[in-house]
Structures are given as C-alpha cells and as structure tokens.
Amino acid sequence: MDQTVLLAHGGGGVQTQELIDRIFKAHFANPYFTADDAAVLPLGHERLAFSTDGFIVSPPFFPGGNIGKLSICGTVNDLACMGAQPLWLTCAFVLEEGFPLADLEGIVCAMAETAKAAGVTLVAGDTKVASKGQVDKVFITTSGIGRLLGNVHTSGALARDGDAILVTGDIGRHGAAILLAREEFGIEAEIESDCAPLWHLVQAVLEKTDEIHVIRDATRGGVGTVLYEIASQSQVGIEIRQEDLPVDPRVSGICSMLGLDPLYLACEGRLVIIAPHKEQDRLLATLRALPHGEGAACIGSVTGRHKAGSVVVETAIGAKTLLPRPTGELLPRIC
Amino acid sequence: MQDDVLMQARNLLTSYAGPPLKIMEVCGTHTHEIFRLGIRNILPKSLSLISGPGCPVCVTPVSYIDEAIYLALEKDVLITTFGDLLRVPGSAMSLARARQEGARVRMVYSPLDALELAKNETREVVFLSVGFETTVPGECLALKQAEEQGIANFSLLCANKTMPMAYQALKGSADAFLYPGHVLAIAGTQSCEALVREGVSGVVAGFTASEILTALACIVHESAKGKAFFVNCYPRVVKATGNPAAQELVAHYMEACDAEWRGLGVIKGSGLALKKAYQHRDARLRFAIPRQEGRANPHCRCGEVLRGLCLPTDCRVFGRACTPSHPIGACMVSSEGTCAAYFQYGLATKPARED
Amino acid sequence: MCVGLSAKVVKIDHGTALIDAQGARREVSAELLSDLEPGDYVMVHAGIAIAKISASDTEESSQVLQSILTPTDSAQA
C-alpha cells in the first residue's frame, strides 16, 4: 500500500476501504464501529443513529445547491438510511482567511432552510479560521443524531437472494453538476445537483412494509460503488440491467464527452433501496408519488446465480458481464 | 428498430458454425467497448477476439513518462495532458505522483484547451502529444494556432504514432482485423484496402453496440467466402478519402519517424515528429531533455501481452502487485488496456500461483 | 484510442462549432470540416470535429445487415 495519502484514498472506492481498514479500523475497532452510513447505538429502550460527515466540495456553490445544503443533506440522509428519523445536528466550519462573509451567509441560509425542510434542528456549532491557502474556502463537518423507528433493521449486510434493487431517481446528477461547475472542461448543460434531504422517502417506504433490507444513499463513488459495498457486506451477487438505469440525457451527454460512466458519479439525493421482489410495485408507487422520488426505478436484483461480492450487468446487447469495480480518482478518458 | 438490429446481428454471431476465426481489434476504444458490452460472453468458442496494441497509453514507452516528469519537476513546466496518461508509471513515479510532489500537471479535454492555458501563463506549457491518426490533427491545430497567434510558451512532447506499419507488423496474428473507425475517419481507407492484396482481411467498425456487432457479423459472413476482404461498415463517419484537411494539416507540421512501441520495439516509420521548421515547438529540444533510460518493472509482461504472446493472467504480478489501483504496467492503467480489462471484468480466473 | 462523441452542430462561428450531445454543450474546433452547417451531426474527438456524420448508427447497421442477409450481397459496394 502507498506510504502517503492519495486523492484516490478519498474516492470512495477500493483505496478508501484499504485506508479505513489499515489505519482507522485497526485502531478504532469496537462493537459499534460501523461499515454503514451511521452507527446504531442502544440508549435505554431506544436505539439512536449517530453519524458524521465532512464536506470539502469545490466549488462551494453549484447549480442546485451549495456546500451548506450538501452538509445537511449528507448527514440527514446517512441517518435516514438506518431507518432513523434525523433529529439534531451539529456543524463545524473551517473557514479560509479572506472568504467573503456574504458567501458564508449564503451557505448558512441554505443550511437553515434545508434543516427546516428535513425537520432537523441545528443545536451546536464550531468555527475555526485557517490562514489563506491552508484550506480551500470553506470546509464543513456535520454530525447528527436520529431515533430509529420501532421495528426497523436496515443494513448493507441484509440483502437477500431474490430481493429487488430500487433507486429513487436518475443517477449521477450531482457528480455531473459539480464537474461542470468546476469549468475545467468547457462543457455546459442545464443541469442541477440532485442534492436533497430524503427522510420523507425513507419514512414512507418503512410505513409500507417491515421488509426493507437495505437503504443506502449513493453519494461518493455513485450507485456502482454502493452496489459493490452491499454485495460484499451481504455476501451476495447483484445483477443490474443497463437499460433500466435511470440517467438524465444531459448526464449521458456529459459522460460520453468525458468517457465517464454515470454509475460512478456521485448522487446527493438518491437512495438505493433493497427489499423483497413482492414489495417492488408498492414501493415504487409510494416513492414516485413523493418529491425527489418521481423517477424511482427498479434496476436489478440480488441473486444467488452470481458469485458473492460481485455485481453483474446485463448490457445493451443482452450479454452479462461484471461491472468494473470502481477504483481511485475519476479520470476523464479521451484518447 | 435498434433492438431488431442488435438481435439480428447477435443471431448471426451466436449461430456461427464455421471454422475457428481469430479477430483482432486494433483500437483500444473497441477493446473498451467490447468488454463493457460483454460481447466476448455471447460469442461461440470458435470466434475469438484478441486485443491489439491500439491503446496509445499502453504502447507509450516508460521513458516518455520519465521525460514528462523531468520537465515537470526539473524545469518547472506546466504539463498539460489527457487524463489517460496521469497514472501511467514511469521509472520512478507517475505524473499523478509527481503532482503530489509539487509538479504542476493539468488534465485537459483538448490540445486546444492546453493552448488556452498557455495564453494565460507566463511559464512554459507543454502538451503531452500522444495518440494515433485521430488525435494528431488536434495537436497540430494547437500548434498552428500557437504559431499564428505568437504564443511562444507552448510546445509539444511528441510520442505520436500511426497505424499502417503496425498492421504490417501484426499481419499474421489474426484472421481478420476490426479496423479502428476514427483513425480511418482521418486517414481514409486506402491503406486497409491495399492490405487485401496481401491477403489481409478486415472491416471498418464504429463504436456503438449495433456497429460493433454488425461489423463482427460482417467478418463472419465475408470469411465464409474464402478470400481476403475489406468492408467499410462505418461509412456514415469513414469516407474512402478520410479527412483531407486533417491530412494536409498534419503533413504541414509533422513527418514520419521511427517510433518505439512498448512491447513491439522500434517500428520503422511508425511515428510522427515535428518538421525542422517547427522544432522550436519540440519540448525535447527546447528543454534539452537528457536521454531517459526508462526502466520498466522487470516482472511486468505488458510487452508480451501487447503482442498477444501471453495473457495478462500469465504475468506473475497481474492481480497481485499489479492492480488498477496500483498499476505496474501500462496495460493495467489505461481502462483500454488488456490487463485492466481482464482484471475489471473478472477474467482473472486462473488460480493464483504461489510467489 | 479514440473516444468519439457524436453531436449536433448548434452554431458555427469562425471555425468554432457549438455542439450539443443530449443537452450537454461545448465549443469544438470546426476547422477540419469546411462545409458544416447548424443541424449537421459531427463526430468529435478531443475537442475537434473530425467528420461529418451522414446517418444514425442503427440505420447504417441495419443496411449493412440487410446486405449480408440478402443473397445478392452488396456489402462491398
């Protein structure tokens, strides 16, 4: 393994996992240390979910949101994925000397608005200022606590043979919006990040059935990365159908310009939900009736036909092939 | 309609009952798409696809990466490059690694974007000019604009290559070639048509699912007739004459030279170098880059993989020391590389050997 | 080696074409193609339009397949 930190260690793929295993897990290991989005902790008769997430998005303002909105959605969604109603959040800012106060206020307004929409309260915060060049404009860390609904047990380790795999909308839009906002490639498209708090979707599906096995938000590394994580945690095979993947045409256009695959582009307002096939229609109908769930679709299934830990794609020509494992930094492929 | 076409082409291939046919795709983008679509998985055993040396990243010698790193670290040059080259290991490190050590390396979408960067820079900007016929005209276009607009701080580090000599070198390795559509969109089809007289068969293929399957179906169909053939299955993009404006542009700035291909060695007349009148734009001369030895990892067998002499799974570092996150050889770096494709698509089925 | 992007020309201005691929737009060089007009489809590689496209891939594949499947065989036309 490498001796220094690489950008790829933050990509959410194999190398992130290596870093976690070798450095963090090795020293932090305890019964509550989790591979899921949030830890589930017993407290009296209740179960709490507890999560934390750092945000360093560049640029901090992008079509469809800003780093403030993102920092609320990220933690709210991590809690929601455990079946926990998000309740309280804290936030810590690291600001770069010289950062305009008007921009900071824009970010904070977005946080307040998003927190309100998500039904959470910001209860504590911290501010540090770093001298110019020590950080890039603004970094935010949010932590959150939520209360698990009574009988809910969701985990990346609970996918079962025969389950259906749903996504709550078109994939890769946040990643595409950020790529464009960086203005490195001269590409323009009217596209907004999918960034949104999603507790209402989780609540709605949990009310429909007790049999939700997995809920994950497909953030860094995209849906492809999340599917590999689930396949590995649950020790199951996963099969998806290329043609059933909901992708906005503009995202497809951007991906074909840069030689990228929307399966590995980040989402910030999309869930992967895994439940028995018999629940599929009911869940899709429920999701599609709600904001941010209109584009929900079934993209494949959990299956014993494939090796545990593998993700297989049925391609446009009807062939089946392994989905390449996401690795490292996303590099546009041109030649 | 699209489904019908795919189904028809697929049936033609899956029902193939003729003698074994080896088909070589010469273009890395074809390799990439063939793996992505899972085409190998639907073909009968008698139809085998081999990947040729058509990924510019894979055939670029180690010494070239060393030259670029020398410029970035020793000469404080802003290196501009397609993303594909960033992670290719040089003798000591990759460009991505050099960037961590403070080198300035920028990924660009187009050589023209590199020129734009140069306009706003006081320091020297070098574009890593790799690629085949398809890519060279854009690089010459950047050069032309640099000359016309007097952008003095822009130069190219050339490792460009052309295909015709490579076809010659590969002549015996397959029963038919899947010719690279976008190379021929520039170069025209004459050189491939001429190969028919030497008994070399092939078809020009596009890059979508229906185009690749159709081109393969066409090879199967023509092979049954028992004589050498050439068919352009991609006339919507590839004309017999290619793109004359692009050819003239390249001929104005560049001329044929001998070129080193990783794995194939030096092939006479298979490269492109800047003409004498434009040598002030040649980064090698401008910065007097010392000769780089280019030490590849001794265990790496990319060279043999590129010549079809061994499979990635025959290499002792494949899948263990050499993976897409820690590539040792170029064929593992590029997503068009054969080793990366074998690894990513799970063809690493041979049991791991004890080292 | 040569990722191509098929896109529609929206606008032409002094050797530069604004192209559109499913709603994603970018300026590319049109210097290598002399007779481009808005509405044309082009193949773009690394920011340069390298060829004008005359048909859709499905149409063309269908034609090639028909010529294979019909006994008169005109695939080599």
Per-residue pLDDT tens over the stretch A140-172: 999 999 999 888 889 999 999 999 999 999 999
Residues of chain A with pLDDT > 90, as a percent, come to: 79
Q: Name the CATH superfamily for B1-295.
A: HypD, alpha/beta domain 2 (3.40.50.11740)
Does residue A183 register a pLDDT over 90?
no
Q: Are C75 and C62 in contact (CB under 8 A)?
A: no
Per-residue pLDDT tens over the stretch A260-269: 999 999 999 9
Mean pLDDT over each residue of chain B, to the nearest integer: 90
Residue A329: the pLDDT is 63
Q: Is C22 on the interface with B (CB under 8 A)?
A: no
DSSP string, B177-231: EEEEHHHHHHH-SHHHHHHGGGT--EEEE-SSHHHHHHHHHHHHHHHTTTS--EE
Quote the minimal CA–CA distance from B330 to chain C in Å: 14
Q: Tell me the backbone φ, ψ of residue B203, rounded to 5 degrees.
A: -130, 150
How far, in Å, CA of A70 to CA of A51, rounded?
15
Q: How many Cβ atoms from other residues are within 10 Å of residue B352's Cβ?
A: 11
Position A52, amino acid: T
Quote the minimal CA–CA distance from A113 to chain B in Å: 37
Residue showing tokens 């509405």? C39
Query: pLDDT band at residue B350, thresholds of 50, 70 and 90?
Result: very low
Task: Return the closest-CA partner of residue B53 out of B352, B339, B354.
Answer: B339
**Residue of B100, B135, B324 with shortest CB distance to A4:** B100
Whether residues A186 and B39 touch (CB distance < 8 A) is answered with no
Q: Is B171 on the interface with C (CB under 8 A)?
A: no
Q: Name the CATH superfamily for A163-322.
A: PurM-like C-terminal domain (3.90.650.10)
Quote the minimal CA–CA distance from A178 to chain B in Å: 16
Residue B354: the pLDDT is 30
Residues from chain A that touch C45, judged by Cβ atoms under 8 A, are 334-335
Read off the pTM.
0.90
Interface pTM, i.e. ipTM: 0.90
Domain ranges of chain B: 1-295, 302-344
Residue of A nearest to B98 (CA): A6
Domain ranges of chain A: 1-31, 34-148, 163-322
Q: What is the mean pLDDT of residues A243-258?
A: 95
Query: pLDDT band at residue A330, thresholds of 50, 70 and 90?
Result: low
* Distance, first Cα to last Cα, chain B: 53
How far, in Å, CA of A246 to CA of A243, rounded?
8
Name residues whose C-beta falls within 8 Å of residue A23's C-beta, 6 or more positions apart in sequence.
Answer: none
How far, in Å, CA of B203 to CA of B211, rounded?
11
Q: How many Cβ atoms from other residues are within 10 Å of residue B309's Cβ?
A: 12
Residues from chain A that touch B107, judged by Cβ atoms under 8 A, are 184, 331-332
Residue C77: the pLDDT is 41
Residues from chain C that touch B214, judged by Cβ atoms under 8 A, are 61, 64-65
Which of the pair, A53 or B53, is modelled with greater confidence?
Answer: A53
CA angle B108, C19, B57 (to 5 degrees): 30
* Distance, first Cα to last Cα, chain C: 28
Quote the minimal CA–CA distance from A38 to chain C in Å: 36
Per-residue pLDDT tens over the stretch B177-222: 999 999 999 999 999 999 999 999 999 999 999 999 999 999 999 9
Whether residues A319 and B38 touch (CB distance < 8 A) is answered with yes
Q: What is the mean pLDDT of residues A292-316?
A: 96
Kindly report the CATH number that applies to the domain delimited by C5-69: 2.30.30.140
Kindly report the CATH number that applies to the domain delimited by A34-148: 3.30.1330.10
Q: What is the mean pLDDT of residues A292-312?
A: 96
Query: Helix B136-148 crosses helix B244-253 at what angle (to 10 degrees)?
Result: 60
DSSP string, B39-96: GGGGS-TTEEEEE-S--HHHHS-HHHHHHHHHHHHHS--EEEE-GGGTT---SS--HH
Per-residue pLDDT tens over the stretch B294-331: 877 888 888 888 777 788 889 999 988 898 878 888 78
Whether residues A253 and C3 touch (CB distance < 8 A) is answered with no
Structure tokens at A110: 């977005």
Query: Any idea how long chain A is?
Result: 335
Per-residue pLDDT tens over the stretch B216-257: 999 999 999 999 999 999 999 999 999 999 999 999 999 999
Q: Is C70 on the interface with B (CB under 8 A)?
A: no
**Residue of A250, A333, A334 with shortest CB distance to C24:** A250
Query: pLDDT band at residue A300, thresholds of 50, 70 and 90?
Result: very high
Q: How far, CA to CA in Å, does A310 sit from each of A24, A132, A239, B344?
A: 25, 45, 8, 11
Q: How many Cβ atoms from other residues are within 10 Å of residue B112's Cβ?
A: 23
Per-residue pLDDT tens over the stretch B55-82: 888 888 889 999 999 999 999 999 999 9
Domain ranges of chain C: 5-69
